[in-house]
Amino acid sequence: MAKLVATIEPTGQCCPSVLGAPLDAEEAAELADGFMALADPVRLRVLSILAAAPDGEVCVCEFVGPLGKSQPTISHHVKILSEAGLVTGDRRGKWVWYSLNRERLAELQTALQPSGGMANRTFTSATSKGARHDNR
């Protein structure tokens, strides 16, 4: 079975790079909402299923089998993705069909790209909670 790869192209920059300059509170909150929604294995799997969908959309009922989760659990996760702007839903009778919001994904991806004077700075990755980053 061939593996499909989704390409996400930035269309504009809504959010500045977190590596480019200090963020203001509103920018940080907007980015955090998107990244928090991505910080769950089930939600990442939902996004990967949507990205691989031949028609670009998947009925919410079709997540139950591949994810091994109940319909209410899936609905909870898809709601979080929707509230973060990462997926969009289209109600068709009893079911909702979801698709990726590729623009929002591209915004989050762009926010992690180095820009300006921060491009050459190095960061030491944290190996445990509470570890500090070294910005030399």
The torsion angle over the Cα atoms of residues 66, 6, 84 and 16, rounded to 10 degrees, is 150
Would 36 be classed as within a structural domain?
yes
Q: Which residue type, as a one-letter code, is found at position 35? A: F
In a domain, 9, yes or no: no
**Has residue 91 been placed in a domain?**
yes
Mind listing the pLDDT tens digit of every residue in the chain (136 residues)?
A: 444 334 444 444 455 666 667 888 888 888 899 999 999 999 999 999 999 999 999 999 999 999 999 999 999 999 999 999 999 999 999 999 999 999 999 999 988 887 743 343 333 333 333 433 343 3
In this structure, is residue 6 part of a structural domain? Answer: no
8 inside domain: no
Torsion of CA 6, 87, 54, 2, to 10 degrees: 40
Total number of domains constituting the chain? 1
> Which domain, by its residues, includes 71?
25-113
Structural domain includes residue 123:
no
> Tokens in use for 62?
């079709």
Report the pLDDT value the prediction gives residue 45, as an integer from 0 to 100: 97
- Please report the DSSP string for 81-104 in residue order: HHHTTSEEEEEETTEEEEEE-HHH
Q: How far apart are CA 105 and CA 85, in angstroms?
A: 9
CATH number for the domain harbouring residue 44: 1.10.10.10
Q: Residue 18: inside a domain, yes or no?
A: no
The reply to whether 126 falls in a domain is: no
What residue type is 112 in one-letter code? L
Q: How far apart are CA 55 and CA 62, in angstroms?
A: 13
Q: What is the pLDDT of residue 20?
A: 65
